[in-house]
């Protein structure tokens, strides 16, 4: 799968996008995995303090679809998915 980072997530992840070889996993599991790879700063952005929920300021798209309209944090992310992570900062 490909994970794309936008706005200040790019700084926290240290990259614009990365390709990961992972078996299908849930959104929550993926966010935990990314936090493991990139560290505390990204973890604080992506997850709530107790790490059981996605941080409310995160917009999570799988192939352009917002997980809010699929299965939320339980949505399964397939091996060839394109994941886009945005902080909720946009407007215009």
- Span near other proteins by CB under 8 A; candidates 23-31, 46-54, 60-68, 73-81: 60-68
Total number of residues shown for the chain: 92
CB-nearer residue toward other proteins: 23 or 49: 49
**7 to 12, 13, 14: CA distances (angstroms):** 10, 11, 12
Q: What are φ and ψ of residue 37, in 5° steps?
A: -65, -45
Three-state DSSP at 8 gives coil
CB-nearer residue toward other proteins: 23 or 87: 87
Q: By CB under 8 A, name the one of 36, 57, 71, 74 that touches other proteins.
A: 57
**41 to 60, 79, 83: CA distances (angstroms):** 18, 26, 19
- Span near other proteins by CB under 8 A; candidates 18-26, 27-35, 46-54, 66-74: 66-74
Residues contributing to the site for other proteins (CB under 8 A): 4, 6-8, 10, 16, 39-40, 57, 59, 61, 63-66, 68-69, 84, 86-92
């Amino acid at each position: 799968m490909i994970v794309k980072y936008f706005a200040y997530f790019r700084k926290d992840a240290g990259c614009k996008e990365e390709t990961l070889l992972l078996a299908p996993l849930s959104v929550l599991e993926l966010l935990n995995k990314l936090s493991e790879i990139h560290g505390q700063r990204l973890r604080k952005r992506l997850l709530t303090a107790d790490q059981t929920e996605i941080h409310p300021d995160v917009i999570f798209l799988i192939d352009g679809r917002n997980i809010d309209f699929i299965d939320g944090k339980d949505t399964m992310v397939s091996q060839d998915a394109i994941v886009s992570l945005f902080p909720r900062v946009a407007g215009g």
